[in-house]
Structure 1
Amino acid sequence: MNLEARKIEFVKEFLKLQSEEAVSRLEKLLRKEKKASEEQLIEPMTEEELNKRIDQSESDFGNNRFKSISELLSKYE
């Protein structure tokens, strides 16, 4: 059975559940799996990448290429 067929079967069985506790446990498991999947997609920066960003930010600030907090807030008001 391929993944798509397995997911369809799972959903059919899920819809038959009458226990709120069972649904809650499955929701919790789904959230945990989703979070784990999202965390795998995030790759940490190397120290070199971080230092380059810091250098660029300091350069931007020194050359007045930045927005103040009030400018940013006014954009969203």
Structure 2
Amino acid sequence: MDIQTTKLELLKTILENEDAEFIQKLSDFVRKEKSDFWFDLSYAEQKEIQKGVEELKNGKRVSYETFLEKIS
């Protein structure tokens, strides 16, 4: 069975189904599957990552060995 046929069958199943719990479970599953980890991070974590990306863009890098020394 090709992907387009599968999609159409899924769509038909959803449209014909009147079970609110089933629809909610399906909705939750789809939302979870396409969620981006970025939104699971705190604002502070997002800012730290953005800061690191900007530092890399500006050529500010630290060797792995230096990084290990800092956290040890």
Q: TM (normalized to structure 1)?
A: 0.48
User: Identity across aligned pairs (percent)?
Assistant: 24
Residue by residue, what CA displacement relative to the aligned partner does 1:9-36 show, whole Å, maximum 9, x if unpaired? 000011011111110000000001111x
- Give ranges in structure 1 of 5+ residues lacking alignment: 40-44, 57-77
Structure 2 CA distance, aligned partners of 1:52 and 1:22?
46
Structure 2 CA distance, aligned partners of 1:52 and 1:25?
41
Larger Rg: 1
Are 1:10 and 2:10 counterparts? yes
RMSD value over aligned CA atoms? Answer: 2.9
Q: TM (normalized to structure 2)?
A: 0.51
**Corresponding residue number in structure 2 for 1:53:** 57
**Corresponding residue number in structure 1 for 2:64:** none
Structure 1 CA distance, aligned partners of 2:29 and 2:19?
16
- Paired positions, count: 47
**Corresponding residue number in structure 1 for 2:32:** 32
